[in-house]
């Protein structure tokens, strides 16, 4: 198997602020080790404030103080070259953007310049990385949009003349026009209605399959993950709690938090009240000791309150960090 | 066509209404005041010589007619419009019988030259420097520039003007103390260079104050623009900074800046009162100052009318330019 396109080891990224001489740290990404393979769709799930957007910023290399990488490593493997993602100088990072690494922002964001026609925005983004004339960039854009099934007339439009769904599609096209190997998408379908969501999901898959790019998809919406992702990582309070292929996560989640997440998904068969997770996620400036989920966990034991659980392998490419699961596993007779 | 009917036409109608109402109010205000200019003028004339009552009555009637104060207020109003349409603002009281139009006309060229140039210079400088300082707010030069501007900005204009005047006409007599030019107006290098020479100091004082104000505005607008999603996204995509500055930041801050420019230019006709008085510059502001001191109502009226027309026209132009600056305006 080829080398993973991104490898992080014990990655820690904290927000460190100094206000009136008091240092405050928010442990938004804490000790995360993941491998993302070339060509897969890797989903990152978790509720608001669990650190998934922070993880994305760090992986994308687009962050500034107060967010600081305090430990661990990020390695990219692009074009048969290993690149150290943490210590890469700013101009080399900028050089990678769009050609190799790209970013699709949330649909509700106003990422298109309101006073510039779509074709001019495309020209700005293309010419930042390639020497092209206005005519060449227009030709590129027009043929790419046609391939993606977008009408030609959007080129001459201003952003406010497009619908929300169309704007999000144009943004996806804008992010992927230079065929990046690695695409990060942050809540690409949030703020869109369900019908439009389906089209956008379809388009994301198309874009990803075209060049066999890697798509890192961040959303709190487990439905979108179920539709798109090959593998899913579940984050809770800045920690990775479970990672497995999509089917496994949906059918046999092991971590109590993941179980709650999956259970809260509505299904067509049952119409009973969905269980919601009791309590609320902890504040990350003073995370709870031990397992960060123990305050809300129905299975919590004494050990959970004091000792941070290790990542253990519980099945084929299925990892989780839970004392209860570890204990069950040790009692199971080895086959 | 819909643009014309829905956007342009209502604004032109609005322009007429604003001017009509403005002029009507200017007509009314002095008539509501208890001071009677005719009695004032008569008082001035009779204060140093006695006049027989009949001559005084005749004088009174003539003055009433000249000032447009005879008849009922409705008659006066209609008369006033009748004269105004012919471009007749009446004679000046102080330098009787020179028409007001002629007196204003003598100053307006100076004012437009001085104020117009310094507004254009300070607007351009303030916009570019302010946007640069807002965009590169972390660099040492941006911080230095901002500190300098913040120091200059709160200095009251008349103090700034007096400092310049004292420094450059008294301690280092590089520039003239009063006046607008040397010699008769002619299209010769000698005359033009003297205009520049006489205008330099007053223009400098206006440019310093105007640039400081516009710098602060442009910097604040640019800083807000910097946090917008489209600027951050373009920066993430490594779009060159120069391009972001002009087409993403400044382009989006143009709307309020153009409004400021147009309204400043529209207010040209009021003249730069303090500047012209401090530097003894022969513009409209100086004329207005003298008119106020001597109670020359017709001149005050004339200059007020011109400013109303000037500002209304400037706002009309702004409204007509907006759709070219911001595509979103076109739909409204």
CA nearest to A61 within chain B: B236
Q: Closest to A128 (Cβ–Cβ): which among B230, B239, B326?
A: B239
Dihedral over Cα of B280, B284, B287, B292: its sign: negative
* Mean pLDDT, residues B6-35: 86
Do the domain assignments include residue B171? Answer: yes
Distance CA A5, CA A54 (A): 19
Contact A110 B326 (CB under 8 A): no
For A212-255, write each residue's pLDDT tens digit: 889 999 988 888 888 888 999 998 888 888 999 988 888 888 88
Residues of A in contact with B255 (CB under 8 A): none
Q: pLDDT in tens for each of the 335 residues of chain A?
A: 578 888 888 888 888 888 787 888 888 888 888 889 888 999 998 888 788 888 888 888 888 788 888 888 888 888 888 888 788 888 888 888 898 899 998 866 688 998 899 999 999 999 999 888 999 999 989 999 988 888 988 999 999 888 888 888 899 899 988 888 899 998 888 878 888 888 888 888 888 888 888 999 998 888 888 888 899 999 888 888 899 998 888 888 888 888 888 887 766 666 666 667 777 777 777 788 888 888 888 888 888 888 888 888 888 888 888 888 888 877 765 55
Prior bond of A66 cis (ω within 30°): yes
Distance CA A230, CA A311 (A): 20
Checking DSSP bridges between strand A214-218 and strand A182-186, what pairing results, if any? parallel
Q: Which residues are CB-contacts of A322 (< 8 A; sequence separation ≥ 6)?
A: A241, A254, A255, A256, A291, A309
Asked if A162 and A111 touch (Cβ cutoff 8 Å), the reply is: no
Checking DSSP bridges between strand A81-84 and strand A67-78, what pairing results, if any? antiparallel
pLDDT at residue A107, rounded to an integer: 67
Beta bridge partners of A214: A182
CA nearest to B243 within chain A: A124
Residues of A in contact with B236 (CB under 8 A): 60, 62, 97, 103
Residues of B in contact with A100 (CB under 8 A): none
Query: Whole-prediction pTM value?
Result: 0.81
Asked if B53 and B60 touch (Cβ cutoff 8 Å), the reply is: no
pLDDT at residue B330, rounded to an integer: 66
pLDDT at residue A57, rounded to an integer: 87
Total domain count for chain B?
A: 1
The first and second tokens of residue B68, run together, are 């447009």
Do the domain assignments include residue B40? Answer: no
Do the domain assignments include residue B182? Answer: yes
Chain B closest-CA separation from residue A73 CA (Å):
22
Contact A114 B326 (CB under 8 A): yes
pLDDT at residue B133, rounded to an integer: 93
**Residues of chain B numbered 301-330 and touching chain A (CB < 8 Å):** 325-328
Instruction: Give residue B146's domain range.
Output: 100-294
Interface residue B26 vs chain A (CB under 8 A) = no
For B264-319, write each residue's pLDDT tens digit: 888 887 767 888 888 888 888 888 888 888 777 788 888 888 889 988 998 898 88
Do the domain assignments include residue B227? Answer: yes
Do the domain assignments include residue B326? Answer: no
Chain A closest-CA separation from residue B255 CA (Å):
11
Q: Which residues are CB-contacts of B137 (< 8 A; sequence separation ≥ 6)?
A: B143, B219, B223, B226
Q: Closest to B237 (Cβ–Cβ): which among A98, A115, A160?
A: A98
ipTM above 0.90, yes or no: no
Interface residue B238 vs chain A (CB under 8 A) = yes
Do the domain assignments include residue B1? Answer: no
The first and second tokens of residue A46, run together, are 């978790």
Contact B230 A97 (CB under 8 A): no
CA nearest to A128 within chain B: B239
For residue B207, pLDDT beyond 90: yes
Asked if B257 and B217 touch (Cβ cutoff 8 Å), the reply is: yes
The first and second tokens of residue A116, run together, are 């510039």
Interface residue A205 vs chain B (CB under 8 A) = no
Specify the DSSP element, H or E, that contains B215: helix B189-226
Going by C-alpha positions, the residue among B304, B273, B297, B308 that lies closest to residue B111 is: B273
Rounded (5°) CA angle B129-B132-B138:
125
Contact B247 A124 (CB under 8 A): yes
pLDDT at residue A195, rounded to an integer: 82
**Residues of chain A numbered 62-81 and touching chain B (CB < 8 Å):** 62
Classify residue B159 as left (phi > 0), alpha (psi -120 to 50) or beta. Answer: alpha
User: Domains of chain A, with CATH numbers?
Assistant: 6-115+158-331 (3.40.50.300)
Residues of B in contact with A60 (CB under 8 A): 236
The first and second tokens of residue A311, run together, are 């990542």
For B43-98, write each residue's pLDDT tens digit: 777 776 777 788 888 888 887 777 777 778 888 888 888 888 888 887 787 777 78
CA nearest to A161 within chain B: B328
CATH number at residue B281: 1.10.3720.10
pLDDT at residue B231, rounded to an integer: 92
Share of chain B above pLDDT 90, in %: 26
Q: How many CB pairs under 8 A join A and B?
A: 62
- Chosen for mutation from B228, B235, B239, B321 (greatest number of chain A CBs closer than 10 Å) is B239
**Residues of chain A numbered 282-321 and touching chain B (CB < 8 Å):** none
Q: How many CA atoms lie less than 13 Å away from A3 in the CB half-sphere?
A: 13
Going by C-alpha positions, the residue among A261, A252, A256, A235 that lies closest to residue A315 is: A252
Interface residue A97 vs chain B (CB under 8 A) = yes
Do the domain assignments include residue B170? Answer: yes
Do the domain assignments include residue B277? Answer: yes
Checking DSSP bridges between strand A22-36 and strand A6-19, what pairing results, if any? antiparallel
Asked if B161 and B205 touch (Cβ cutoff 8 Å), the reply is: yes
Chain B closest-CA separation from residue A53 CA (Å):
15
Contact B229 A105 (CB under 8 A): yes
Residues of B in contact with A120 (CB under 8 A): 247
| CA distances, B25 to each of B46, B157, B213, B296 (Å) | 32, 30, 32, 18
Prior bond of A244 cis (ω within 30°): no
């Amino acid at each position: 198997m080829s080398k993973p396109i991104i490898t992080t080891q014990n990655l820690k990224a904290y927000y460190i602020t100094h206000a009136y001489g008091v240092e405050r740290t928010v442990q938004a990404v804490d000790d995360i080790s993941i491998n993302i393979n070339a060509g897969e769709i890797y989903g990152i799930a978790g509720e608001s404030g669990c650190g998934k957007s922070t993880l994305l910023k760090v992986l994308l290399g687009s962050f500034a103080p107060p967010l600081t990488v305090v430990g661990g490593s990020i390695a990219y493997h692009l074009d048969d070259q290993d690149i150290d993602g943490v210590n890469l100088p700013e101009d080399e990072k900028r050089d990678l953007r769009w050609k190799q690494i790209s970013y699709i922002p949330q649909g509700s964001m106003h990422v298109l310049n309101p006073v510039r026609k779509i074709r001019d925005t495309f020209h700005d983004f293309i010419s930042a990385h390639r020497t092209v004339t206005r005519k060449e960039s227009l030709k590129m854009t027009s043929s790419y949009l046609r391939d993606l099934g977008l009408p030609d007339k959007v080129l001459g439009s201003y952003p406010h003349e497009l619908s929300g769904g169309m704007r999000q599609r144009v943004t996806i096209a804008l992010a992927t026009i230079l065929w990046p190997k690695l695409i990060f998408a942050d809540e690409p379908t949030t703020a869109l209605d369900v019908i439009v969501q389906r089209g956008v999901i379809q388009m994301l898959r198309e874009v990803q399959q075209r060049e066999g790019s890697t798509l890192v998809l961040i959303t709190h919406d487990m439905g979108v993950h179920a539709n798109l992702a090959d593998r899913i990582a579940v984050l809770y309070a800045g920690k990775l709690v479970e990672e497995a292929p999509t089917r496994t996560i949906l059918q046999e989640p092991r971590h109590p938090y993941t179980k709650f997440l999956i259970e809260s998904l509505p299904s067509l068969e049952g119409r009973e009240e969905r269980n919601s997770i009791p309590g609320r996620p902890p504040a990350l400036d003073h995370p709870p000791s031990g397992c960060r989920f123990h305050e809300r966990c129905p299975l919590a034991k004494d050990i959970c309150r004091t000792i941070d659980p290790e990542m253990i392998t519980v099945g084929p490419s299925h990892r989780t960090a839970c004392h209860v699961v570890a204990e069950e596993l040790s009692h199971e007779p080895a086959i | 066509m819909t643009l014309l009917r829905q956007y342009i036409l209502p604004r032109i109608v609005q322009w007429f209404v604003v001017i009509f109402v403005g002029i009507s109010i200017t007509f009314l205000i002095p008539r509501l005041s208890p001071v009677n200019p005719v009695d004032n003028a008569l008082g001035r004339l009779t204060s140093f010589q006695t006049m027989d009552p009949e001559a005084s009555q005749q004088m009174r009637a003539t003055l009433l007619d000249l000032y447009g104060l005879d008849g009922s207020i409705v008659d006066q109003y209609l008369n006033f419009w009748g004269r105004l349409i012919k471009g007749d603002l009446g004679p000046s009281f102080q330098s009787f019988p020179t028409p007001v139009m002629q007196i204003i006309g003598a100053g307006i060229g100076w004012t437009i030259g001085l104020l117009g140039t310094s507004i254009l210079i300070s607007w351009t400088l303030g916009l570019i420097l302010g946007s640069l300082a807002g965009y590169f707010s972390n660099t040492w030069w941006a911080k230095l520039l901002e500190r300098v501007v913040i120091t200059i900005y709160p200095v009251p204009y008349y103090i700034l003007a007096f400092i310049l005047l004292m420094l450059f006409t008294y301690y280092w007599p590089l520039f003239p103390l009063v006046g607008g030019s040397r010699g008769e107006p002619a299209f010769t290098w000698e005359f033009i260079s003297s205009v520049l020479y006489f205008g330099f100091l007053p223009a400098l004082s206006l440019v310093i104050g105007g640039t400081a104000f516009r710098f602060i505005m442009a910097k604040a607008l640019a800083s807000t623009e910097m946090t917008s999603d489209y600027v951050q996204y373009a920066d993430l995509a490594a779009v060159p900074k120069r391009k972001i500055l002009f087409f993403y930041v400044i382009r989006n801050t143009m709307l309020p800046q153009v409004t400021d420019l147009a309204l400043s230019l529209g207010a040209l006709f009021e003249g730069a009162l303090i500047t012209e008085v401090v530097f003894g510059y022969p513009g409209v502001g100086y004329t207005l100052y003298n008119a106020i001191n001597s109670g020359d109502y017709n001149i005050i009226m004339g200059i007020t009318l011109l400013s109303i027309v000037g500002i209304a026209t400037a706002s009309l132009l702004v409204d007509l330019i907006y759709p070219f600056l911001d595509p979103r305006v076109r739909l409204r």
